[in-house]
Structures are given as C-alpha cells and as structure tokens.
Structure 1
Amino acid sequence: MDKKEYINRLDEQKKLQKMMNTDKYLLNFHLIPPSGWLNDPNGLCEFKGINHIYYQYTPFDATWGMKLWGHYTTADWITYKEYEPFIFSDIPEDQDGVYSGSAFIKDDKIYFYYTGNVKHIDKDYDYIVAGREQNTILITSNDGFTYKDKKVLFKNIDYPSDMSCHVRDPQIFEKNNFYYMVLGARDLKDVGCVLIYQSKDLITWNYHMRIVPEKKFGYMWECPNLIEIDNKMFLICCPQGVEQEGINYANIYQCGYFPIDLDLENKKYSLGKFKELDRGFDIYAPQTFLDENNRRIIIGWMGLPDAEYTNPTVKNGWQHALTMPRELIVKNNQLYQIPLVEFKNLRSKINKELNCNKENVELDFNFSNCKNLEILLRNEIKLIYKDNIFTLDLKECGYGRDKRSVYLTSLKELQIFLDNSSIEIFINSGEEVFTSRCYSKDLKTDLKISGEYELKDFSWYELKKIEINK
C-alpha cells in the first residue's frame, strides 16, 4: 500500500473510527490504532527531546492486512500527537508489508532499519524454506517525519546459507567502535537463533557471528534486542515453538530474555537461563531504547500472534494496543520493569479507603506476612496468591483467556493499572509483570480483598486519560 492508495481509502478509516467511538472498551491511557489493527512497536527513539513511537499498522482492517508503520510522538508520555503513516510499502522489496525494525541515532540523523516482506503466490510454497522474501531495508531521516530513499541492504541470498526464509526484525547498537545489527532467525533445522552483523558506517554490513542455544529453544527467535544495563548484557527475544513447562511458557509464543556474556571481538558468548519478561496473556514483540535521560525504556505489543482467545473490539473496527511504557532496571541479575515516573501525572488525588468504584485506576498495595490472598476486581478479575503461586484468573471477561501464574518467594507489593479493557500488574516493584486484555461487563473497580495478610499500606488513584492530538 503506497501513500496514494492510503489517501484514496481514508473514507474507510472514517467509517471505522465512527464505530470505534461507540466502543466502551476504548483504552484511556494506552496507545491504540487510529483505526484497524496494531501490533509490534517499531523504531522507538528520542530525538531532540521528542519520543517517536512507530508501530505495525493496518489502517483499514481490524483483523489483518497490509502492514505500514504508524506514528505517534510525545514529549512527556502524557500528551501525544498522531501522524499519518511513516513508512509505506511502495518498493518491490517491501510490497507485501513494512515489517518490524528499529531506529539508531547518530550525528543528528535517525537510521531506520526494517524488514520488507514479500510473499510469492505464483505456486504452492511452504513459506519457510521457499516462497518468502525478508529483505533488510534502510532509510535515513533528519527529523523522524520525512525521508527520501530506501536502500536494500540484504536479501535472503545474503544471509547465511543454512537460514530459512525467516530472518527479520533488525536492531542496531554500538560497541567498541563498531556498529552491530541483530536479526532474529530460523535456520533450516528449525532452530531459533540470532544473527549479528558488523559495520563501520551503518550502511555496509558484514556477517559477524550468530547466537544459538546449546539446546534447541524454539524454532524462531523474533524481535531480538541486545541491550546492556549496569554493565550486564541481556538478549531480549520472542521464541516461537517452546513447549509449556508447568506454569511456565504458557502462551503460544514466549516473550523474555537470556542473560548473556558476550565477547564480540572474539565471537564468544554464554547464554543464561531464559526468563519470561511478562506472565500475562497479551505481551509480545517488546522493543527498547535509551532516552536522553539514559533510561532504558521498553514498550511491548499488548497482543499475541496466533492466540486462541479473541477481542470483542474487532466488531467496532479496531484491535490491540501498546503496553504502558516502562523503565528496565537490573536487580539481582534480573530485569525489573517499572512504569515510567511520568505516569504519576495521570493521578487524581490520593485515596486510602478500600472502597474503590472508579473505572480507570491505579491500585497500590504494600503487604507484610502475606500467606494467602484473593483480590476481586470488577466482579470478574481474580488475583490469587496461595502456596507462593500468584495467579491471574480472568474467566468470562478474558474471552478465552483463562489463568496465568508465576512462582514468588514472597508477595510484598502489588501495583495494578486498570484501563477500560486491560490490566497491568507489577509485583514486588517490577520483579514480575502480568499484562492482559480483559473485557468486564462492569468497568467499575469494585475492589474486594480477603485472605491471610497484613496490609501495611494501600492507596489508589483515579487516572486521567492521555491526550492525543491529530
């Protein structure tokens, strides 16, 4: 879909937006698509004081379709501006979709790298070893809003010969006077891995090495982010094809990270044990970036590909959202996630009583000696803590989402954000996180709590709506 076709179809968007405006499940403090479908966050960066949030976007269909890059900006994470799509599919190498990628800032210029998707239909293909092109494409911009040309860096023939057609989602970082590109991949033996390329100029790239587990861990690693915080490195990725182990790896595809010791110069590495970033139903394709305050910010897709559960918003012309932006920090060699401090600006006055009957709220609990606990929200959402297992139970309001759980050594803190059709739970200052969509009949919080615990402190806030200007 090129820009001309997009403009010619804007009447379709207006029809979808009219339907959206009737939906009680529209989110108030999350970014959703202006219409249609949203998935992976892309190209996240802060450039000259402005945070740019690009995302996978299908404007005219709430289920699936041609992917573009949509575009929001914000300076304060509370007030946003919406723009027309940033990247259209308008060259042969991205003719079937502008897929995921990232941004890298150097010398007052933004380098955007993304995957151009091409799907051949001239005969029957398996679309794994044949029939698909995953082209790595570069554009550069001086402002984050405009660019001139697209440069194709790699086609499938340029990747190692033992790779399938699935090599995508480039991410760039700088280390030891070199630039490195990380690509998620699936090899011909159906082993998920990461490819790393090296460059001196951000344009000419050479294959450098790959990261592959000693024991197979899924058949494809999507959306890799290789990051460093406090001199510790982590490989964030989304493995597909990992079998469930008890309460772990319960989603169809996983979202998490490996601690990694990486020697790029000598092409050596050691992977730690994979840990899930989020234990909820709706989390995938997270992307991180460093803002100008040197915070490592992460935003994910509040959705999941190929999931069996559904979203009733489809009938009203839209589907999916982005998670709340969070800051990544390291504690005990583990990644913790905490909501950006800017979200405190959405709070109304503090309330201390347990009688909470507002719709969009933040709930903050501080426990001591918590042995077991049950919290009921909106008469449908249950949070249960028993025998060191914390469980989110959605029942009917999950539209196919049932239960997700995690083991805790103790439960000390809960921070819960309830939007019209989502819940995000931060446990023990971000040690564990649950992100999910939920569709309760009654949106009032109607908090009920029971169990064996000491409530040291409790507060809640009604949250204002973020402002989106067109």
Structure 2
Amino acid sequence: MAREAKKNWTVGQRYRRLEDISHTQITEMMEKRSLDNGYPNYHIAPAFGLLNDPNGLCYFNSEHHIFYQWTPVGPVHGMKYWYHLSTKDFIHFTDHGAAIHPDQDHDSHGVYSGGAIVENDKALLFFTGNKRDENWKRIPTQCYATMNTAGEIEKKGIIIENDHYTEHFRDPKVWKQGDDYYMVVGAQTQDLKGAMILYHSQDLSKWEHKGPIKTTHNDFGYMWECPDFFELDGQAVMLFSPQGVSSSNPYDFKNVFSVTYLVGDRVNFSSMELEGEQSIRQPDYGFDFYAPQTYVDDKGRRILYAWVGLPEIDTPSVKHEWAGMLSLPRELRIENGFMVQKALEELEALRGEAIEFTGTLQQPSNSFYLSLDIDIVEFSIELGNSVGDKIEFKVTEDEFTLDRSQMSEIYAEEFGLTRKAPRLSLTQQIEVYVDQSVIEIFINGGKHTMTSRFFIDDLSYLKVSTSLKSTYYPMKSLSGFNLK
C-alpha cells in the first residue's frame, strides 16, 4: 500500500520547494506523524517528510553539528535540503531547521550529500549541487558553503565540475593533511564501474583530479555512494556504499544496497593505491543501514552516523507522512582489520533504572537498552505482541539471525525477511537498542552490528530464551526537536 501510494507521486510533486508547501499541509503531515507509535524517542528523525543521508558532520564552536538530507514535501525522494541540528551532549539538541536550500541554478534540483571540515572560525560544508536540464539529464557539481559561529551559512559556489564521469558523481568528503586539502567523491566511471575519486587542492578553489583510488575491488558494482576516507589507529580506511553488488555467501550484500569498508596501511598519493589492503568487510548485517559518515570531535573520537533506511524501499511509516532516521552515534576504532563500533558513552545518560529479569518481561517502555553476557551455544531474543506478531534475534554456534517474517506489517519481501551475520566467538556481550520501530544490535564485540526497522502493532513483551539474566534499561527521549 505504501509503495503504491508513493508511486503515484509525479516528478512535479516531488520537486516542490519548502515555500510551496502550505502551512495547512505541514500541520496535517505533523499531525499524522504524531499519531505514529513507531516514531522514535531517542533517534533523530524528521518532523515530517523524508530523512536520508547524514551530512556535514563536524565538531565546531563547542558543539557537534549534524546535518541530514531532507525532502520536506513528503516521505519521498525529491527536492533535497540540508537540515541542521546541533548538540553539546547528544541528549539536548538545538533545532536550526532547513540550513542549505536548493536556491541556485547549479543546485536547482537538490542540495545533495557531502561532508565538512572546520577551519579557524568557520565550518566548511561541502555538497553536490544537483541540476536537471530540460531533458532531465543530471548535471552534478561539487560545491561548498561556509558557516560562521553565529550559524550563518553562505554559499561559495562550484569548485569542481564533472569532466570525467557519468552523471553519477556526488557526495564529496574533504579532509586536511598538513597544508593540503583532499577530497573523495563517489562516482561511476565511463565504463560504468563504481569508484572513489581523489582530488587535491592547496586553496579550496583549484582542485587537481587525481583519479580513482586503486584497490583490488576496481570492478565492484556500478556506483560507490557516500565515500569516506579517514585514518584511525594507524590505519587508512575507505568506507563507502556500493551499488550493484551481491554475494553467494549467506551474510554479505543482501540488501538492495549495502555498506562496506577497506582497511589498509595508507593511500599512496603518487601511485593512487591503497597499500597494505586487507579483506573487504561489512560493518552492518541488518536490513537498514546506509550512507554512513564519520567525523572527529574535540576528544579525538571518530564518530559515525548512518541513515537507518535504504534507497528504493518504502517503510510503513510513509502513511504517517515521515520516513527515515539516523542511527545512534557510534565511536569507532580499528581492531585486527575490523572497524569496531560502540554507541557513544553519552547515551548512557538516557538510561532509566535497571531491571534485571529472566524469561519474559512485559515492557514498561518500547524505547530501551538491553545488555546480556553470553557464553552458551544457542539462545534467542523475541519482541512481540499479544496476537503473535514478533521479530526474533536467534543465535547458534556459528551465526546470528534477525528474522522479521512475522511482523504486523511485512514489506520489502523481495529482498528477504531474514538477515544473518557470522558469530566470531562463543563469549559475547550482546547490546540491543530498541526505539519503538528501530533495533540496533551490537555483536562480536562491536565488530558487527545489525540495524533494522521493524513494525509490530502494540508491542508489549520482550522474551529472552533459556535462563540468561538480562538487564533492561528504559531509555528517555532526546530533547530540543521534533519529538512527541
């Protein structure tokens, strides 16, 4: 039903601007959203419309700044804006509203994704200007804007035009090394292969095209979206979202589009090779994890946010006039070639009083954190309601399985109703974050996660098999923006 409703949107409807949406329409959308019991309490989500990629993540002016892709006209992909939130503690937020608007010729059809760096007293926000010509051909350019300490944003225009790639050329991520600036851009080469493209500049205005970073995965899908490159714990990491990739093994690349990363020793800027390249890996084995972006804060932590959602898939929340949310912020480290993720310690402040239980718990809240230590071969966690609708997280000696085939509302069946991840050790601390209609499970010591939306009407109980003692913490709500 939701998918059919969205198919009826015309191009003209999708590409309306914020100023074309009446106050009455906005009020109606927000009222529908407020009636949705699946709307999260401690995850960032839009007041209405569609949220997708995290953008412009940075620590600036003593605050964490979080931007995201936003389509205000409704829960569809269309005219994109950057929406802006900031926080000092990841608990209390300031809502700055729509921050970068599609108001220039070169971004007339959307301000697409990108990253940020901080220089002196300004944050530099890099994005892709999306323009469509009269034949609807896309003309992408890499652009940037500055934000001062008062939060005022000024566009600086185009810095890179597309001279080498197909129309799929987007999502700039910039970093500074010494006096030099480097940028990676996601692209499709002329032979229709995905690539992470490197540019170099000394002044932010003139950029030298260095070409694709060479890896052993140069024929790996038809487009690499949302590239990120960073150095962490003495290693170089290429993080990206390839499109058009599948695998015959039971774990990898089961979503319509997935996320992957490569760890190496360094990128050789002369040969353009990732030296010391290790095995390619997936950070997340759930149903809904895409377009992650990272940044470094004032404590030196590398922090990741991702979009809990996927292109081309509509969730049941669209009937409530909203779609998409951001993952919890996760601190990263590199351990034995794995990108290990852990929810930020600040989130512990959201926990209520601990409840220890075995067996079944009638939940006091559907926004909670669950922790359990295991060293047994098999067990399961079940979330359900009184009429038998449920999701299950099942564990065997060799693997983890997340099964959402018995939800109240089934969707995206064509991509399967279970996801699996390898179990790397018998002894585990399993951490589970549930927030109304989203679950984030940290497994294998954080080497993997399983992030997913789920839809169960009147969710009421949590069941842990065997006699395992589990600790449940109700979670409080974030404050300062679009929450019930």
Q: 1:236, 1:144 → 2: CA distance?
A: 32
Q: Are residue 386 (structure 1) and residue 396 (structure 2) matched? A: yes
Q: Is 1:9 aligned to 2:22, yes or no?
A: yes
Determine the structure 1 residue equivalent to 2:141.
135
Equivalent residue for 2:462?
A: 446
CA distance in 2, matches of 1:6, 1:41: 23
Alignment partners' CA distance in 1, 2:37 and 2:105? 41
RMSD across aligned C-alpha pairs, in angstroms? 2.1
Tell me by how many angstroms 1:68 deviates: 0.5
Name the residue aligned to 2:474. 462
Counterpart mapping for 1:245-260 below 5 A: 245-247=248-250, 248-260=252-264
| SS across alignment from 2:24 | helix
Q: Is the 8 A contact 2:169 2:188 kept in 1?
A: yes
Partner residue of 1:268? 273
For residues 84-133 of structure 1, the C-alpha deviation after alignment (integer angstroms, 9 at most, x for no partner) is: 200100111000110001111011211111001112343xx7xxxxx211
* Other-structure match for 1:64: 77
1:319 matches 2:319: no
- Matched letter for residue 112 of structure 2: Y
Q: Deviations over 1:3-31 (max 9, x none)?
A: 99527634322210011111111111101
CA contact (8 A) 1:283 1:304 kept: yes
Letter in 2 for 1:115: T
SS at match of 2:461: coil
Partner of 1:218: 221
CA deviation after TM superposition for structure 1 residue 40, in Å: 0.4
Shift of 1:176: 4.1
Q: Percent identity?
A: 31
The reply on whether 1:164 has 2:166 as its aligned counterpart is yes
Contact 1:24-1:420 within 8 A present in 2 as well:
yes
Partner of 2:419: 404
Contact map agreement 2:16 2:79 (CA 8 A) in 1: no
Task: Number of aligned residue pairs: give it.
Answer: 452
What letter is aligned with 1:385? V
Is 352-361 or 17-26 further displaced after alignment?
352-361
Moved more, 10-19 or 107-116: 10-19
- Runs in 1 of length 4+ with deviation above 6 angstroms? 1-4
Note the residue ranges of structure 2 that are not aligned, 5 or more in a row: 1-13
Quick one: which of 234, 238, 245 aligns to 2:241?
238
C-alpha distance 302-144 of structure 1, shift in aligned 2 (>3 A): farther
**From 419, 423, 432, the counterpart of 2:435:** 419
Q: 2:189 matched to 1:187?
A: yes
8 A Cα contact 1:2 1:90, kept in partner: no
Q: Taking structure 2 as the reference length, what is the TM-score of the superposition?
A: 0.89
Do the aligned residues in 2 keep the contact of 1:364 with 1:416 (CA within 8 Å)?
yes
Q: Is the 8 A contact 2:391 2:406 kept in 1?
A: no
Alpha carbons of 1:4 and 1:252: their partners in 2 closer, same or farther (altered >3 Å)?
closer
Cα distance change, pair 305–144 in 1 and its aligned pair in 2 (3 A)? farther
The Cα shift of 1:365 comes to 0.8
Contact 1:399 1:438 in 2 (8 A): no
| TM-score, normalised via structure 1 length | 0.91
The superposition leaves residues 313-344 of structure 1 with CA deviations (integer Å, 9 ceiling, x where unpaired) of: 11111111111111011111210110000110
Question: Against the structure 1 CA distance between its residues 116 and 417, is the aligned structure 2 distance closer, same or farther, given a 3 Å change threshold?
Answer: same
For 1:429 and 1:409, the matched residues in 2 are separated by 9
Secondary structure of the corresponding residue to residue 289 of structure 1: strand
Mapped contact 1:184–1:221 kept (Cα < 8 A):
yes
* Counterpart among 79, 82, 87 of residue 74 in structure 1: 87
Alignment of 1:303 with 2:316, yes or no, is: no
Deviation string 1:186-222 (CA, Å, 9 cap, x unpaired) is 1111111111111112222111242144351111111
